[in-house]
Amino acid sequence: MLVHINPIVRHGVPKTAPEILNRINEISFNSSLMREMRAVAFVTRLIDEGKISGSEMKQMLIHSIRDDEAMAAHSVASKLSPDWEFLCRLKDSGRSVTERWLRANYANVGVRSTVDLEAEFL
């Protein structure tokens, strides 16, 4: 289960120095995730094509909860904010997104991935 705290997609081009630094931080943070998901997609493809057996490698079921639009509204500085109201809004937002995700995907947990790795990470 992936819970995204940095947006993968951000609309528009950063123009100011703080906006550029914020986007650099997001890209750097997401680069490890992208690399790992590409590796998972590669092994999944090998298993699906019968090039390796499921007993040699385990197929992983990947699920992802994310709200890029909500996360894009916050700068990198917000990660250090101890403001109680801000933290409560984040918790409420996360709970709302998670409840929607569970309604749509709960039946798939443990059965199949709910993320198209090739579309999202390749």
Residues 6+ apart with CB under 8 A from 101: 65
What pLDDT, on the 0 to 100 scale, is given for residue 29?
85
What pLDDT, on the 0 to 100 scale, is given for residue 23?
86
Tell me the pLDDT tens digit for each residue of 69-88.
888 787 777 777 889 998 99
């090039």: which residue's tokens?
51
DSSP string, 67-87: -HHHHHTS-GGGGG---HHHH
Whether the per-residue pLDDT at 108 is higher than 80: the answer is yes
| 92 — pLDDT class (breaks 50, 70, 90) | very high
Tell me the pLDDT tens digit for each residue of 4-34.
888 787 788 889 888 888 888 888 888 989 9
Name the residue among 2, 74, 87, 76 with its Cα closest to residue 40: 2
